[in-house]
């Protein structure tokens, strides 16, 4: 056992001194030392406890497991030479957990080029999940401990895994006791009623089951914080029994405090409403309270999403519309009638498909059942199009990155051209899936995730970690971007190269290579062709549908290392502008350096000129049951649309029509373009201006200039 002189890295010290070669036992031992050393603080506004868990150089986050910050250890060694030996010893012992180093060493040169060129990426972050963290309130640590001990007797070869879970439970009990004592001390000194409620809750929790909304909320916040602050999931369902067992005023105060906490911590995705497998509506009184709290505080976070279906109450849709009208971009609307069949195509039964929730921006997961909604990677379809024209050569990076397809001179038919495009899409997709699978293997080997392994079904039963094929469902999700930019470009090539023969593909290639220098006529032809996806134009729309359905269908043939298959989606996050610039000149009239790029499954910004009904009609031509990862459509409305009851009713009719005809998702921004333009020059006057970005809401003035311009260029209805 190493004799550490330092006190600021208790987790790492406990991990190293566990005396075990098992990452599970070592992690549990690290948590115990961190819990013993934890310093408890209470938020001045909510009264919720927070804690310095002593994991500065070895950080547990929801996506990374235990990841050593080697740079920080090196800095500490230099800053505190008297303790340098300790910090360097920790770095040496924890270095094998540096998953980033393992991942990049496994990638091929072409895979790295694909990432650096913005052609795609795969597996380089651990992603989101939605565990049933409420189980710590439902059963208490004693109940979870009983479940572990029972399975420990019946499962061979997993004793280290189970022992690690038990050690982590001990650490949670230690932390709970420290919260109780700190709250008691604080209450006795100040008389703060919020400290009293914390003291009373932790008098017996988290060891025993919670009884009230107050107890459940405080235990949940504690475990949610330990888990790294991710996505609560179906909050109104798993908290409703506690809500009903608590006086309204007490429960409402806790709900508002939780909303503030979720906002302060940038909590990701909270889900409300939905249906069960028999299409019974799951809306309850807490659903409406959550919408009311969202309207009261007008935060852009947490990312609030609402599930809709054939039996969604009209009252709920009106409450949601009133909330959307305030301009937070929330709630985002999902359609059970499409998402559930998409999940069922993946082999998930209706009893579980109807348990789906959203995590992160808008990825889809099965709460407490899966590790699949984590955004394993992304493919830039616009760059695939460029590679088809240039035989796989990236003109922005000046190197071969795509597949070796025939040169433009040999693509003398439209069929040959589209075959080259599909080859390039498959090449990038194969690389992205390869990278994602390599990373899945590495995380399964080096990452211990005890809290999630205790709260996602399958892990305890199998004796396998959440990152190591433990959950019931291990599918993956690879997103795509630049759909409309790719489709509009192909439409121009089809019409002007292969049908009208106005240009040869070689001439188009040369024009792109020169950034349309001396080719103003071609540039204007492409820019003003009107062959743009999003206007209910079958010529352009059919091309987009062929590309997207091909991509989504191809993904379903690609297995994950987690024991499932990949599916598609579209959620550009904040990457649209950067990925657009990386795509270079395109045959839709885009020039080098321009960053206007499609932000969802809809039109290239500003190219949908026929109104929202035409845009929705175009988007409905996709098969929305192929992608199971959030197939988002961003819509922008002027505030005046929601100023009257008639306007709100028309909006609800639009939503119902889109969902009844097979649309999967809608994200709505309510903002005036004039306000956005003014905010560019006078940000100090618009600090509270919120917009939807790729799949999340953000304050407009906090975005990059390129992303701000991308958002302003989008069509407003």
pLDDT value at residue 333:
97
Both 529 and 567 in one domain: the answer is yes
Residue 317: which of 303, 300, 333, 304 has the closest Cα? 333
pLDDT value at residue 63:
63
Both 588 and 696 in one domain: the answer is no
Both 637 and 620 in one domain: the answer is no
3-state DSSP percent of the chain in helix, strand and coil, to 5: 50, 10, 35
| Cβ-defined contacts of 404-407 (< 8 Å, 24+) | 407/506
pLDDT value at residue 697:
73
Both 638 and 604 in one domain: the answer is no
Tell me how far apart the alpha carbons of residues 420 and 425 are, in angstroms, rounded to a whole number: 9
Domain boundary (605, 625, 645) is at 625
Beta strand ranges found along 369-438 (DSSP E): 377-380, 393-394, 399-400
Q: Would the CA dihedral through 70, 75, 81, 83 be positive or negative?
A: negative
Asked if residue 226 belongs to a domain, the reply is no
Angle of the 673-681 helix axis to the 705-712 helix axis, nearest 10 = 160
Exposed/middle/buried for residue 84 (C-beta within 10 Å: 0-12, 13-18, 19+): middle
pLDDT value at residue 714:
61
DSSP letter for each residue of 501-529? -SS-HHHHHHHHHTTTTT-HHHHHHHHTS
Q: 640 lies in which domain range?
A: 248-339+633-717
Beta bridge partners of 364: 358
| CB-side neighbour CA atoms (13 Å) of 345 | 20
Both 613 and 669 in one domain: the answer is no
Residue for token digits 């961003």? Answer: 634
Tell me how far apart the alpha carbons of residues 115 and 378 are, in angstroms, rounded to a whole number: 10
- For residue 542, the tally of other CB atoms under 10 A from its CB is 15
458 Rama class: left (phi>0) / alpha (psi -120 to 50) / beta: left
| Residue 412, token pair as written in the block | 């003398």
pLDDT value at residue 694:
63
Both 513 and 565 in one domain: the answer is yes
pLDDT value at residue 716:
65
| 3-class DSSP string for 55-69 | CCCEEEECCCEEEEC
Asked if residue 515 belongs to a domain, the reply is yes
Both 614 and 640 in one domain: the answer is no
Beta bridge partners of 271: 234, 305
Both 553 and 659 in one domain: the answer is no
Biggest CA pair distance of the chain: 85
Number of domains in the chain: 3
Residue 348 Cα to chain centre, angstroms: 21
Beta bridge partners of 120: 379
- Based on its alpha-carbon atoms, the radius of gyration of the chain, rounded to whole angstroms, reads 26
Cβ proximity of 166 and 150 under 8 Å: no
pLDDT in tens, 491-527: 999 999 999 999 999 999 999 999 999 999 999 999 9
Q: What is the mean pLDDT of each run of 10 residues along the chain (717 residues)?
A: 93 94 95 94 94 71 74 93 96 89 94 97 90 98 98 92 98 97 97 97 97 98 93 97 98 98 95 98 98 96 96 98 94 97 96 96 94 90 98 97 98 98 98 97 92 97 96 96 96 98 98 97 97 96 97 97 95 83 96 90 92 94 95 91 93 96 94 80 78 73 80 70
Question: b/e per residue, 703-717, with b = 16+ CB within 10 A?
Answer: beebbbbbbbbbbbe
Tell me how far apart the alpha carbons of residues 149 and 59 are, in angstroms, rounded to a whole number: 28
Cβ proximity of 44 and 68 under 8 Å: no
Asked if residue 145 belongs to a domain, the reply is no
Exposed/middle/buried for residue 335 (C-beta within 10 Å: 0-12, 13-18, 19+): buried
Exposed/middle/buried for residue 315 (C-beta within 10 Å: 0-12, 13-18, 19+): exposed
Asked if residue 334 belongs to a domain, the reply is yes
Tell me how far apart the alpha carbons of residues 461 and 224 are, in angstroms, rounded to a whole number: 23
Asked if residue 186 belongs to a domain, the reply is no
Both 620 and 639 in one domain: the answer is no
Asked if residue 415 belongs to a domain, the reply is yes
Tell me how far apart the alpha carbons of residues 297 and 376 are, in angstroms, rounded to a whole number: 33
Asked if residue 23 belongs to a domain, the reply is yes
Cβ proximity of 169 and 203 under 8 Å: no
Is residue 631 helix, strand or coil?
A: strand
Domain boundary (122, 138, 168) is at 122
Both 585 and 473 in one domain: the answer is yes
| Residue 457, token pair as written in the block | 């079904």
Both 474 and 499 in one domain: the answer is yes
Both 537 and 512 in one domain: the answer is yes
Cis-peptide into 299, omega within 30 deg: no
Domain boundary (122, 144, 169) is at 122
- For residue 344, the tally of other CB atoms under 10 A from its CB is 16
Angle at 181 between CA 179 and CA 183, to 5 degrees: 65
| Residue 172, token pair as written in the block | 């949670």
pLDDT value at residue 313:
98
pLDDT in tens, 192-228: 999 999 999 999 999 999 999 999 999 999 999 999 8
Residue 530: which of 521, 539, 519, 518 has the closest Cα? 539
Asked if residue 607 belongs to a domain, the reply is yes
- Please give the DSSP secondary-structure letter assigned to residue 685: G
Angle of the 213-226 helix axis to the 193-201 helix axis, nearest 10 = 80
Tell me how far apart the alpha carbons of residues 286 and 290 are, in angstroms, rounded to a whole number: 6
């Amino acid at each position: 056992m190493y004799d550490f002189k330092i006190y600021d890295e208790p987790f790492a010290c406990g991990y190293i001194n566990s005396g075990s070669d098992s990452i599970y036992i070592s992690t549990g031992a690290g948590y115990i030392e961190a819990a013993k050393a934890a310093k408890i603080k209470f938020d001045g506004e909510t009264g919720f406890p927070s804690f310095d868990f002593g994991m500065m150089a070895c950080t547990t986050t929801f996506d990374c497991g235990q990841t050593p910050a080697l740079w920080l250890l090196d800095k500490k060694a230099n800053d505190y030479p008297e303790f340098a030996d300790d910090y360097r010893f920790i770095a040496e012992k924890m270095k094998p957990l540096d998953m980033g180093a393992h991942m990049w060493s496994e990638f091929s040169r072409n895979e790295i080029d694909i990432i650096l060129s913005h052609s795609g990426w795969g597996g380089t972050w651990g992603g989101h999940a939605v565990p049933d963290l409420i189980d710590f309130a439902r059963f208490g640590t004693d109940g979870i401990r009983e479940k572990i001990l029972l399975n420990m007797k019946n499962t061979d070869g997993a004793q280290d895994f189970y022992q690690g879970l038990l050690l982590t439970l001990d650490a949670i009990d230690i932390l709970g006791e420290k919260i109780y004592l700190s709250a008691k001390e604080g209450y006795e000194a100040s008389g703060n009623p919020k400290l009293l409620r914390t003291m009373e809750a932790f008098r017996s929790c988290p060891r025993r089951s919670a009884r009230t909304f107050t107890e459940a909320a405080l235990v949940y916040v504690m475990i949610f914080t330990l888990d790294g602050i991710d996505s609560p999931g179906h909050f109104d369902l798993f908290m409703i029994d506690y809500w009903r067992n608590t006086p309204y005023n007490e429960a409402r105060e806790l709900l508002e405090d939780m909303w503030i906490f979720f906002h302060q911590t940038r909590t990701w995705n909270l889900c409300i409403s939905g249906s069960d497998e028999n299409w019974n509506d799951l809306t309850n009184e807490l659903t409406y309270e959550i919408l009311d709290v969202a309207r009261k505080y007008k935060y852009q976070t947490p990312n609030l999403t609402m599930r809709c279906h054939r039996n969604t109450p009209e009252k709920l849709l009106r409450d949601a519309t009133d909330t959307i009208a305030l301009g937070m971009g929330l709630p985002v609307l999902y359609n059970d009638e499409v998402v559930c069949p998409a999940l069922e195509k993946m082999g998930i039964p209706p009893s579980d498909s109807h348990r789906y929730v959203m995590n992160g921006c808008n990825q889809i997961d099965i709460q407490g059942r899966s590790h699949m909604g984590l955004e394993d990677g992304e493919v830039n379809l616009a760059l695939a199009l460029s590679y088809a024209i240039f035989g796989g050569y990236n003109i922005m990076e000046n190197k071969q990155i795509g597949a070796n397809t025939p040169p433009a001179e040999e693509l003398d038919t439209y069929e040959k051209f589209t075959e080259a495009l599909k080859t390039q899409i498959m090449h990038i997709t194969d690389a992205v899936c390869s990278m994602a699978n390599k990373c899945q293997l590495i995380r399964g080997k080096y990452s211990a995730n005890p809290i999630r392994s205790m709260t996602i079904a399958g892990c305890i039963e199998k004796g396998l970690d959440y990152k190591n094929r433990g959950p019931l469902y291990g599918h993956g999700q690879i997103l795509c971007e630049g759909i409309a930019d790719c489709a509009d470009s192909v439409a121009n090539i089809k019409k002007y190269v292969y049908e009208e023969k106005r240009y040869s593909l070689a001439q188009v290639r040369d024009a792109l290579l020169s950034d349309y220098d001396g080719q103003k006529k071609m540039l204007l032809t492409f820019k003003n062709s009107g062959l743009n996806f999003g206007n209910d134009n079958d010529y352009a729309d059919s091309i987009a549908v062929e590309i997207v359905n091909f991509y989504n269908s191809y993904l379903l043939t690609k297995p994950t290392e987690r024991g499932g298959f990949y599916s598609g989606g579209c959620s550009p996050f904040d990457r649209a502008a950067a990925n657009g610039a990386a795509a270079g000149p395109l045959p839709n009239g885009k020039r080098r350096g321009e960053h206007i790029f499609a932000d969802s499954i809809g039109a290239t910004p500003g190219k949908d000129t026929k109104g929202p009904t035409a845009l929705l009609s175009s988007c409905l031509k996709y098969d929305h049951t192929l992608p199971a990862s959030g197939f988002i459509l961003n819509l922008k409305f002027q505030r005046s649309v929601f100023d009257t009851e008639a306007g709100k009713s028309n909006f609800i009719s639009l939503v119902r029509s889109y969902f009844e005809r097979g649309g999967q998702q809608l994200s709505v921004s309510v903002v005036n373009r004039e306000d956005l333009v003014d905010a560019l020059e006078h940000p100090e006057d618009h600090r509270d201006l919120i917009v939807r970005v790729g799949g999340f809401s953000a304050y407009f003035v906090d975005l990059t200039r390129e992303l701000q311009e991308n958002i302003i260029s989008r069509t407003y209805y």
